Chains A and B, each alone.
Chain A
Amino acid sequence: MSALLPYFVADLSARAARAPELLALVFTTEDGARQHARVGDLWRDVLRAAAALADAGVRSGDVVILATGHSRALVDGFLGAAAIGAVPAVAPYFTGRLDPALYAERVGRMVAASGAALVIASPNLAERLSVVLASARCRTLAAEALAAADLKQAPLAVGLPDDALAYIQFSSGSTGEQKAVAHKQGAMRGYITRKIGRDGTNDVIVSWLPLYHDLGLIGGLLTPLVAGTLSVLMSPAHWVRDPKIMLRAVHDFRGTMTFMPNFALSHCARAVRDRDLEGLDLSSWRRVILGGELVRQESMRMFAERFAPYGFRAQALQAGYGMAELVEAATATAVDEPARIDWVSRRELMISGHAVPLAASDPEATAMVSCGVPLHGNELRIVGEDGAVLPDRAVGEILVRSPWCGGYHLRRDLTAAALRDGWFQTGDLGYLADGELYVCGRKKDLIIVAGHNVMPDDLETIAGEVEGVASGRVVAFGVTDERLGTDRIVIVCEPVGAPDSDARRRAEAEIRNRVGRMLDVAVSEIRFVERGWVIKTSSGKLARSANREKHLLEKERGAA
């Protein structure tokens, strides 16, 4: 009967009967303790969570949002919801810097976008959320309730059709309307089956990515559960504070595969001390797959050099490209080969939009890192602004045709706008060369700080509401921090009136404060400019890249 269970739990259930003693998951708590979950125990915990959700009135097809943060309740609740045919969705983690009231409002917008019936919340949020959600006919369940239920009660879903929803992935900014990407049972089976077919079932995954991120959830939890391979999970907050925990986990469990953003390379290389590395053996690590932000050759070089003495092999550094709408990865570089580097003219790339090859030694050359070839049945094309397919080495928008592409839940209009003749419009910029994809820039001027997506619109809205800042005359963009291998946030504001330096300082502090409470990121630079500085298009829209160029040029000339 297990083959008829919902896809995410079918294999786990079968394995629980066959090999309950196998280690399924090592869950590292926020304080560093490692909880070992054997297959049989994990399945029992999932059944208990399933029973608790059914007790709370959750039915097959209901959407359940998990606002529990990094915890076993998140894993059990997600799988428990899946087991009864409900549709789980993970909310971004609450952190100490976020404003709890604003966070609760954001979860409220996720409930609105997904039509959720229930939110599972950590104890510190449950009460506040139940107040916010009271009007939305959405109930709140405290995370502790999941482990307290009687496990024989779980009404497992059997024989769900392929077009039943499997899970929802939120994908959007923080201040505005939320987009809920919905994936179906059949698409998840198709994608994960293809993925396991390529990767095999001998990996040990080591991951600190949050489970609210598609790469963290699919790569770190769901694929290993289906494949029956061990996954060692850590929290992103813990890893950021103490990056050596990932290296220790690779050593201790003979880890083979990790997914992470480019920033993690420089963070590990710079923030791990030599004495923490003594005796470590990283030779088992055969794939460190970079994704989620632009991959930089310099960060790869720094990481490979730093960890080579501990058995790390440079060819383990691979890259991929994907997004929540396409389930996870659309492309990846070859297994057991380093990602290819394409040296091209920086100038031509910027001015003519062509990737013109140059020798690596040329001072004009910039290194583009390949994100590999289309995988898992995906097809790729690069198009110009008129929609015409572009030749190799011409930069244009990346389109993907995917058998697994999801739609926006309850929003056929958004789904229709994102798909044109079956091709998903990523909004990202890139070029193809020898069949491999090179990504040049992200959607809608998206800023990615340490793997964390930040929408410039959110920053502009927040800054524009601060006293002394001219609303609508604010522009936010990212500038590359080469050493950290990620973006820094710059906000350029036109003032209201002629504020003195004290007033500007107060406004700066207020912008940083609000951005921190809403988005949990720092603003590297806030610049006040004279009225009329900010460039807009003829239709009155912000021209972010033009403003960015203007800012950088003035910085270079010492005018800013």
Chain B
Amino acid sequence: MTKKRSADDVRARLGAFIRGEFLGDPTYPLRDDEPIISGGLIDSFYLAHLAVFIEDAFGVVIPDVDLAVENFDTLDLMAQRILDELWREG
């Protein structure tokens, strides 16, 4: 699996989850760089739910102190964090 391809996969799974579970609108045209929390699409309390999803779906544990808006505001940021953790683990 190439680097490009897996980043797309991660973004696609995250995007589907966020549109369905958080926005309640599976058809919402969410852009990869759209700020979903600072942009006022979802409340920051969803970060805790996102961490549980990321752990279940990708096996990546996000420490609570890292659950900040600046680290998880866009699909790009989330995917980057998940891929960094996956590659670190090898």
Q: Which residues of A contact B (CB under 8 A)?
A: 31, 96-97, 240-243, 267, 270-271, 273, 449-450, 481, 488, 509, 511-513, 515-516, 521-525
- A–B Cβ pairs within 8 angstroms, 28 of them: A31-B65, A96-B69, A97-B38, A97-B69, A240-B48, A241-B47, A241-B67, A242-B48, A270-B49, A271-B45, A271-B48, A271-B49, A273-B52, A273-B55, A450-B43, A450-B45, A509-B39, A512-B39, A512-B40, A515-B40, A516-B40, A521-B40, A521-B43, A522-B37, A522-B43, A524-B24, A524-B42, A525-B25
Q: Complex Cα distance A522/B39, Å?
A: 8
Give B47's nearest chain A residue, CB to CB: A241
A536 CB to nearest chain B CB (Å):
27
**Contact present for B52 and A271 (CB under 8 Å):** yes
Question: What total count of A-B pairs have CB within 8 Å?
Answer: 57
Q: Complex Cα distance A158/B64, Å?
A: 47
**Contact present for A267 and B52 (CB under 8 Å):** no
Main secondary structure of the interface of B (DSSP, over half): loop
Chain B residues, Cβ within 8 Å of A271: 45, 48-49, 51-52
Most buried by B among A267, A450, A522: A522
**B80 adjacent to chain A (CB < 8 Å):** no
Chain B residues, Cβ within 8 Å of A511: 40
Chain A residues, Cβ within 8 Å of B23: 524
Give B48's nearest chain A residue, CB to CB: A271
Which of B39, B41, B45, B55 has a CB less than 8 Å from the CB of A240?
Answer: B45
**Contact present for B24 and A522 (CB under 8 Å):** no
Q: Complex Cα distance A515/B40, Å?
A: 7
**Contact present for B44 and A240 (CB under 8 Å):** yes
Chain A residues, Cβ within 8 Å of B40: 511-513, 515-516, 521-523
Chain B residues, Cβ within 8 Å of A515: 40
Main secondary structure of the interface of A (DSSP, over half): mixed
B66 CB to nearest chain A CB (Å):
10
Most buried by B among A449, A450, A523, A524: A524
Which of B24, B37, B49 has a CB less than 8 Å from the CB of A488?
Answer: B24
Q: Which residues of B contact A (CB under 8 A)?
A: 23-25, 37-45, 47-49, 51-52, 55, 64-65, 67, 69
B65 CB to nearest chain A CB (Å):
8
Which of A270, A488, A522 has a CB less than 8 Å from the CB of B52?
Answer: A270
Q: Complex Cα distance A340/B41, Å?
A: 36
**Contact present for A516 and B49 (CB under 8 Å):** no
Give A522's nearest chain B residue, CB to CB: B43
Chain B residues, Cβ within 8 Å of A273: 52, 55
Chain B residues, Cβ within 8 Å of A525: 25
List 4 other contacts, CB 8 Å, given A240-B44, A241-B44, A516-B40. A242-B48, A273-B52, A449-B43, A522-B41
Q: Complex Cα distance A515/B52, Å?
A: 27
Known: A509-B39, A513-B40. A241 touches B64 (CB 8 A): yes
**Contact present for A243 and B39 (CB under 8 Å):** no
**Contact present for A516 and B48 (CB under 8 Å):** no
**Contact present for B48 and A267 (CB under 8 Å):** yes
Chain B residues, Cβ within 8 Å of A488: 24
B27 CB to nearest chain A CB (Å):
12
A517 CB to nearest chain B CB (Å):
9
Known: A97-B38, A522-B42. A241 touches B48 (CB 8 A): yes
Chain A residues, Cβ within 8 Å of B64: 241-242
**Contact present for A513 and B52 (CB under 8 Å):** no
Give A481's nearest chain B residue, CB to CB: B24
Chain A residues, Cβ within 8 Å of B24: 481, 488, 524
Q: Complex Cα distance A273/B55, Å?
A: 9
Q: Complex Cα distance A524/B69, Å?
A: 17
Give B56's nearest chain A residue, CB to CB: A273
Chain B residues, Cβ within 8 Å of A449: 43
A32 CB to nearest chain B CB (Å):
8
Give A523's nearest chain B residue, CB to CB: B40
A20 CB to nearest chain B CB (Å):
35
**Contact present for B44 and A97 (CB under 8 Å):** yes
Chain A residues, Cβ within 8 Å of B67: 241-242
Chain A residues, Cβ within 8 Å of B45: 240, 267, 271, 450
Most buried by A among B23, B24, B45, B51: B45
A96 CB to nearest chain B CB (Å):
7
Nearest first, the 6 A-B pairs at minimum CB distance are A512-B40, A271-B48, A516-B40, A242-B64, A522-B43, A240-B45
Give A479's nearest chain B residue, CB to CB: B24
A159 CB to nearest chain B CB (Å):
46
